[in-house]
Structure 1
Amino acid sequence: MRIAVLISGRGSNLKALIDACAAEDFPADIGLVLSNRPNASGLLHAEEAGIPHKVIDHKEFKTREEFDAVLHRTLEDAEIELACNAGFMRILTDDFVNRWRDRMLNIHPSLLPAFKGLHVHQRAIDAGVRISGATVHFVRPEMDEGPIVAQAAVPVLPDDTADVLAERILAAEHKLYPFALRLVAEGKARVADERVVISDGIPDAPAPIFMPPLG
C-alpha cells in the first residue's frame, strides 16, 4: 500500500513508520511526506531516508478550503492510497475528510474517547486516571473521532509530570502506529458500521497494544 505521512513537527512517529516500512515484509511503502510547516524538523527524516517530501505552507492560503484542495491534489498526484497523520496539526475540512474517508489514519496520545484535543497529558494527570495511552483511528470530521484500529495502554505514575508521561506514551506510539498500519495495509482491519473489524489470522499484538476483537 502506498502511503503518505503528514507531519507538522519533529516527526518521531514518522521515523517509526520509516523504520517499519524498511522491512522487506512490511505491506506499506511511504511514497510522500508532507508538512504544513516549512521548518518542521521531521522533514529531515524523509530526506535522510530518500523519501519524496513536500511543504504546503498553510499560511500561504486564505482559507482552509484552499489549503485542503491543494493537499488533496498533491496526495492524488502522488497516487497515495492511505494518508497517515503523525502530529499533523491542522483541522481538516469536512469535505476533505469525507473524500479520504476510511483512507486516513490518525494517532492521538490518549485512550479515546477520553481526553480529545490538546493538553492531553496534563488533563489526564489532573483527572487522576491510572492508565492513559494512545489510539490509532480512522479520521472523521469531528476532532479525534473515528473507528479505532488499535490502542496502547500506558500507566500514569504518581510522580508523573505532563512531560514525563508524554515521553512514556510516545514510546508506546512508536510501536502502535506501525502495528496498526500493518493491519490496515494487509486488509485485516476494515470499517463496518463505524467500528473496525479485525480479520483472523494475525499475530498477537505486543504489549502494551490492544485492538478490537476478531470479527
Structure 2
Amino acid sequence: MKKTKAAVFASGTGSNFQAIMEADNLPVEVVLLVCDKAGAKVMEKAAQYGVPVLLFDPKAYASKSAYEQKLIEELEKAGVEWIFLAGYMRIVGPDLLGAFEGRIVNIHPSLLPAFPGKDAIGQAYQAGVDTTGVTVHYIDEGIDTGPIIAQESVGIHPEDTEDMLKERIQQVEHNLYPNVIRQLLNQTT
C-alpha cells in the first residue's frame, strides 16, 4: 500500500497525534510534526515514533506570511502532501492554505458550527447543552468554519464533570480522526 506523506501540526499533549500514529492500516506516513510551543508534550511523542519535529516560534518572524513561507519550504522539503491539525492552536493563514488547498484537515471537539474556537468542551459544558461531539473538517480562512467532513455526537450526562466529558470526547476523536483520514486518503490514491 502506497502511503501518503503527511505532516501533523500540534501545540499540546499530542493525544490525536498518537492516535494517528497507532491507527491500524492508515495509508499515511507522518514525516513531520510541526509545533509552535516549546516544551509541548507532543514533541516527546514524536521522538518516541521517530518523527522529525519542526519547532518554530512565530514571534521570531516579521509576519505570519514570513513564517508560513518557511513552513511551506520545510513541508515541501519533506515531501508533505497532506496536513492534519491535531490540537494546533494557531489560525492557518492564506499562504499555507494556498499551498495545500483542499489538503488541510482539522479535528475540533464540538459539533460545529456550535462552539468554535478555543475551549469548545468548556463552552459546551458551561452552556448546559445535552449533546456536543467531535467534528472533522477542512480548513478555510475562518475559525472552525471550513466544510465539514464528519461528525459524531457525544452526550453530556447530568453527573458529568468537564474532565469526564473531555475524556469521552477524546475517545471519540481518537477513533473518528484516523477513520476519516483513512477514507480521505483512500479516495485520493
Tell me the TM-score normalized by structure 2.
0.92
The number of residue pairs the alignment matches comes to: 185
For the residue of structure 2 that corresponds to 1:14, the secondary structure is helix
Mean Cα displacement is larger for which, 3-12 or 155-164? 155-164
* Corresponding letter in the other structure for 2:18: K
What does 1:50-199 align with in structure 2 at a 5 Å threshold?
50-187=50-187
How far has the Cα of 1:67 moved from its partner? Answer: 1.3
Query: What residue identity is the alignment partner of 1:61?
Result: Y
Q: 5+ residue gaps in structure 2? A: none
- Give the % identical residues: 37
Structure 1 unaligned residues grouped into runs of 5+: 189-215
2:21 to 18, 37, 41: 18
Per-residue deviation, residues 55-109 of structure 1 (Å, max 9, x unmatched):
1222312321111111111111111010001011111222322322211000000
Counterpart CA distance in 2 for 1:45 and 1:126 is 31
| DSSP 3-state at the match of 2:116 | coil
Conserved in 1, the CA contact under 8 Å of 2:69 and 2:95?
no
1:153 CA drift (Å): 1.2
- Label 1:26 to 1:126 Cα distance change in 2 as closer, same or farther (>3 A): closer
Tell me if the contact between 2:6 and 2:82 (Cα under 8 Å) persists in the aligned partners: yes
The code of the aligned residue for 1:71 comes to L
Structure 1: how far apart are the matches of 2:126 and 2:43?
34
Say whether 1:4 aligns with 2:4: no
Separation of aligned partners in 1, 2:100 and 2:83: 8
Contact 1:136 1:150 in 2 (8 A): yes
Name the SS for the 2:166 alignment partner: helix
Secondary structure, aligned partner of 2:184: helix
CA distance in 2, matches of 1:37, 1:127: 30
Partners of 2:100 and 2:171 lie apart in 1 by 28
Give SS of 2:101's match. Answer: coil
- Whether the 8 Å contact between 2:10 and 2:85 is mirrored in structure 1 is yes
Instruction: Tell me which residue corresponds to 1:192.
Output: none
Q: In the aligned structure 1, how far is the partner of 2:37 from the partner of 2:183? A: 30
Say which structure, 1 or 2, has more relative contact order (CA 8 Å, 6+ apart). 2
